[in-house]
A = this chain, B = another copy of it.
Amino acid sequence: MSDGPTITTIAQRAGVSIASVSRVLNGLPTKADTERRVMSAARELGYVPNSAARSLKSRRSNQLGFAMADIGNPVYLAMIREIQPLFKAAGYRLVLHSTNVDEADEIDVLRGLGERYIDGLIMVPLRVTAEHLNMFAAARAPIVIIGSVPEGTPVDNVRTDSRKGVRLAVGHLHALGRRRIGFVNGPVDTVPGAARSAAYAEALPALGLPYDPSLVEVGDFYRTDGARAVARLLEREPDLDALLCANDLIALGALDVLRRAGRRVPQDVAVAGMDDTDLATIAWPALTSVSMGSAERGRAAAELLLDRLDNGRRAPRVVTVEPRLVVRASTTGEETP
């Protein structure tokens, strides 16, 4: 009841030295008799090794971290679902950090690496500032970044081709005959916001369509913000016939607003999201969405981290995940009433 048993307790009980106890528990060659006595003493006392002591000695925590902005976002959830089993299988616990869109929080997490409570970290930063880069360079544990970082940054990196993703979606809408394709983005000073904004601006001219800034509206990456942004856009450009939303949450907001406005989806306005989260198949009509390979990115990041942990000095690696368009009713209308 009081304090947990230690190897010293066991040693006394078994009448051997703590060294012998340690050897038995670590499976080193030991005389059969000693082994038996130690094992039974350990069992009787309900011995469990103390992780702090073990970590201090071994210089390993057997913990790995995952840091993202917001657990509520299903994109991160998709990543965690892949990461957690891989970590567990490799004998690591998962420490979760939700940084709440707070840049200082992200930096804190990076600084925390120095405490050595985790042996490595996967981070999905919303922004990559100079301070981030400094911390990456100074980090005393391996880091994998999901999202693009500048060439030469000394971290493993998993990216996705936003350009191609947006091109797929815009191309799809264009092929369906849509010509007034609005774009609802999140904050453009975030990694995904900036990438998707640039990609949209490129994709239209490539199809011979003009880039019209008044077809672009910026809110935040959430459903209600998205809805508000779509409402503004609709008021300004009532003749638009398609909407590309920078993520699925925004697209859900778009469906809400369009429904309330009496516009049919997709007959009047075709809607496409990005990220292809679980929500896409729950929405009605089911949401066409560009999969940015969230699950694959999570898995790739975990694999990179685990690989580096037993292969410390290889060069930083970059893995790029291919986006993929998943067509559903919100653009083709096959199931719409």
Chain copies in the assembly? 2
Among A111-151, those with CB < 8 Å from B are: 111-112, 114-117, 138, 140
| Residue in B closest to A47 when the chains form the complex, CB atoms | B114
| Docked-complex contact A61 and B52, CB < 8 angstroms | yes
Q: Which residues of B contact A279 (CB under 8 A)?
A: 279, 282
Q: Mark A260-296, 1 if CB is under 8 A from B, else 0.
A: 0000000000000000000100111000000000000
Quick one: which of B53, B77, B115, B284 contacts A77, CB cutoff 8 A? B77
| Residue in B closest to A58 when the chains form the complex, CB atoms | B52
CB within 8 Å for A72 and B81 given contacts A93-B117, A114-B48, A117-B52: yes
CB within 8 Å for A4 and B114 given contacts A71-B84, A80-B71, A282-B279: yes
| Docked-complex contact A282 and B98, CB < 8 angstroms | no
Quick one: which of B46, B117, B282 contacts A283, CB cutoff 8 A? B282
Q: Which residues of B contact A153 (CB under 8 A)?
A: none
Let me know if A40 is at the binding interface, CB within 8 A.
no
Q: Which residues of B contact A152 (CB under 8 A)?
A: none
Q: Which residues of B contact A94 (CB under 8 A)?
A: 95-97
Q: List 18 A-B contacts (CB under 8 A).
A: A49-B115, A50-B56, A50-B116, A52-B56, A52-B116, A56-B56, A71-B77, A80-B96, A84-B98, A85-B100, A94-B95, A94-B97, A96-B96, A252-B282, A279-B282, A282-B283, A283-B284, A284-B284
- Complex Cα distance A283/B281, Å? 9
| Docked-complex contact A77 and B72, CB < 8 angstroms | yes
